[in-house]
Amino acid sequence: MELREYLKHKTLLFDGAMGTYFRSVHPEYPGKCELANCNAPAKVAEVHKNYLESGARAIKTNTFAANTHALECKFDEVRTVIRQGWKIATKVAEPYRAFVFADIGPITDPNGEYEQIVDEFLALGAKNFLFETWSDDDDLYALAAYIKARCPDAFLIASFAVSPDGFTRQGLSARAVLERVTNCPVIDAAGFNCVSGPNHLLAQARANADLFGKERPAADPAMLSVMPNAGYPTIVDGRTFFENRAGYFASRMVEIVAAGAKIIGGCCGTTPEHIRLTAEALNEEEIKPEPAAAQVEVKPREVKNRLADKFAAKKRVIAVELDPPADDNLEKFMAGAKALKEAGVDAITIADCPIARARADSSLLAAKLRRELDIDPIPHMTCRDRNINATKALLLGLSAEEVRNVLVVTGDPIPSAERDEVKGVFSFNSAVLAGYIRELGEQGVTASFRVFGALNVNAANFEVELRKAKRKVEQGVAGFLTQPVFTSRAFENLIHAHEELDADILGGVIPIVSHRNALYMNNEVAGIEISQGVINRYEGLDREAAEDLAVDLSVQLAQRMEPYTAGWYFITPFQRVSLITRILRELNKSTETDPS
């Protein structure tokens, strides 16, 4: 029977997890599971057969990680793994008249490899494809169109790995991704697998069931696919184990079908026993569809954001960066922040462990500033040091503390001398983090944040920097703080950004306090470029004369940037808050005496 015809009458039951089950029955196997297609084909065939004997009517080829990145090999070897995997699966499935799906997992840096993999499967006669455990949909639509152009009858399932709270590891909400995917006419089914157990994926199935079954132009309605993990693993003696509660799994799968799933199966930790009991439950019980859950419209919470209001009113915004202390003595930091507020500063920005060295936490300091000084802080949030769970926890805390503005940056790498002891965690980049923050606000999980990003106007290839900035705007970044602007090239890039970006820009100013300071910043600080003419002006000056020059240059630079910015971003050198307040006084004087 053709697959689409089968699905009109029955629920399609997939197999369970090839990887974890293969390991459990063949712990002696030394390599990656996919390589067993070539050097232990009988063991792979045995796994497929066990699932089919248990009642599965669709199996996945043992090719989830068949790519050059995961297998650390040339594509010629990947090609062999794919061909052998297809040969094994189709041979085992034939007597059971089961459907075989080409299994394709995510690739860290695909660079055209998805198309190569697809071409191999199509050449072998594959018509059914499963893209599983994906964390975003960026490459999916072009790839699906590529397949359908070559095989119009192909059946495509897009399956995403989501955490129990409904977000992928890239920070995308399940709802937002499924809304896009179910509206794509070249994708036949979509849903979830991996990361979460059956109870949490049941909740996701119910929450998103309304997206499925709707008419689509030039395509049948999309179907819901759900393949949960067996549950949540435990670690025993350094090994990962899933407790075998197959009966519970089966009962939840029946509920998932009642919630609207037409395609089900298992992921990590599921065994033939899970599939057997699920098949029996599906055959024994009369499954009545659940009434569609009423969709509650979630609206972003209306919150007061003084900084956002000032931008909206086209008033100039002044933000000043204060470095967090390297110890727990906050007296100087708080005194500096108070002096800046009294000088008319709108916001204090706080770096997040700059140059990857531990300092007082930027978000905790932001909450303290908000509560004790009633000034608007902009804590920096790096993508280094936190996974998505830690990031969400921090955002919840900031929202509760009424901190409404954040600056997202990827973060400096860990210094090489410390990498044996300190490990960087980069679960996403700044554009993805910005999108995640926006999604939390749109779903009412947190209050809406105004998200800022960094803009390097000193970049050697500014067009690349500008493309990154536009991507960040698409993800929800509303404003940019630039690197310090000292050179004519940096000014040209600032003007270009002003013309191209639909976002507010705060022009970066850092006072240079000595000749040595100028040399250091120009030669050792990434993203800062100082002209030789400016460096030469500091040569031979004492501290007082150097500060006078710093004030004059900073005021001139700020005034020159004014037509192309929504305000200024001053970086405090060596905690010299008095120098920043002096610059602000001079700027105020020039504004008051300006005849225009």
Task: Report whether 194 belongs to an annotated binding site.
Answer: yes
d(CA 504, CA 246): 55
- What six digits make up the tokens of 20? 């974890």
**CA triple 310-314-315, angle to 5 deg:** 60
d(CA 268, CA 196): 9
E strands of 359-466, at which residues? 376-382, 405-409, 450-455
Biggest CA-to-CA distance, the chain: 91
For β-strands 405-409 and 99-104, DSSP reports them as: unpaired
CB atoms inside a 10 Å sphere around CB 212: 20
- What six digits make up the tokens of 531? 């002209």
How many separate helices (H) and strands (E) can be counted in the chain? 23, 18
Q: What is the pLDDT, as a whole number, of residue 418? A: 47
For β-strands 405-409 and 376-382, DSSP reports them as: parallel
Q: Under DSSP, is residue 540 helix (H, G, I), strand (E, B) or coil? A: coil
Domain locations in the chain as residue ranges: 3-284, 316-591
H-assigned helices in 183-315: 198-208, 246-258, 272-284, 306-312
Q: What is the pLDDT, as a whole number, of residue 354? A: 72
Chain segment 70-111, per-residue pLDDT in tens: 999 999 999 999 999 999 999 999 999 999 999 999 998 899
Q: Which residue has the tokens 């002003």?
A: 498
Q: Does domain 3-284 have CATH number 3.20.20.330?
A: yes
Task: Report whether 268 belongs to an annotated binding site.
Answer: yes
The partner residues of 134 in beta bridges, in order of sequence, read 160
Are 457 and 496 within 8 A, CB to CB? no
C-alpha to C-alpha distances, 29 to 88, 258, 378, nearest whole angstrom? 18, 39, 52
Half-sphere exposure of 420 (CA within 13 A, CB side): 1
- What's this model's pTM, rounded to 2 decimal places? 0.81
- What six digits make up the tokens of 557? 């630079």
d(CA 14, CA 72): 29
Task: Report whether 73 belongs to an annotated binding site.
Answer: no
Tell me if domain 3-284 and domain 316-591 are identical in fold: yes
- The sheet that has 58-60: what strands, in order across it? 12-13, 261-264, 223-227, 189-193, 155-160, 128-134, 99-104, 58-60
Exposed, middle or buried: residue 533 (CB in 10 Å: 0-12, 13-18, 19+)?
exposed
Specify the length of the chain in residues. Answer: 596
Q: Which residue has the tokens 């910005």?
A: 434
Q: What is the pLDDT, as a whole number, of residue 414? A: 46
C-alpha to C-alpha distances, 564 to 465, 471, 543, 560, 568, nearest whole angstrom? 18, 21, 32, 9, 11
C-alpha to C-alpha distances, 418 to 58, 109, 361, 414, 518, nearest whole angstrom? 49, 27, 20, 7, 27
Closest CA to 175 of 426, 375, 368, 439: 439
Closest CA to 436 of 427, 385, 470: 427
E strands of 10-150, at which residues? 12-13, 58-60, 99-104, 128-134
Q: What is the pLDDT, as a whole number, of residue 295? A: 65
User: H or E stretch including 236?
Assistant: strand 234-236
Q: What is the pLDDT, as a whole number, of residue 286? A: 72
Are 376 and 347 within 8 A, CB to CB? yes
Stretches in the chain below the pLDDT threshold 50? 414-419, 422, 595-596
Q: Which residue has the tokens 């209306």?
A: 302
Closest CA to 361 of 320, 330, 405, 389: 330
Q: Does domain 316-591 have CATH number 3.80.30.20?
A: no
- Cβ-proximal residues to 516 (8 Å cutoff; 6+ apart), any chain: none
d(CA 128, CA 116): 16
Q: What is the pLDDT, as a whole number, of residue 591? A: 65
Are 478 and 435 within 8 A, CB to CB? no
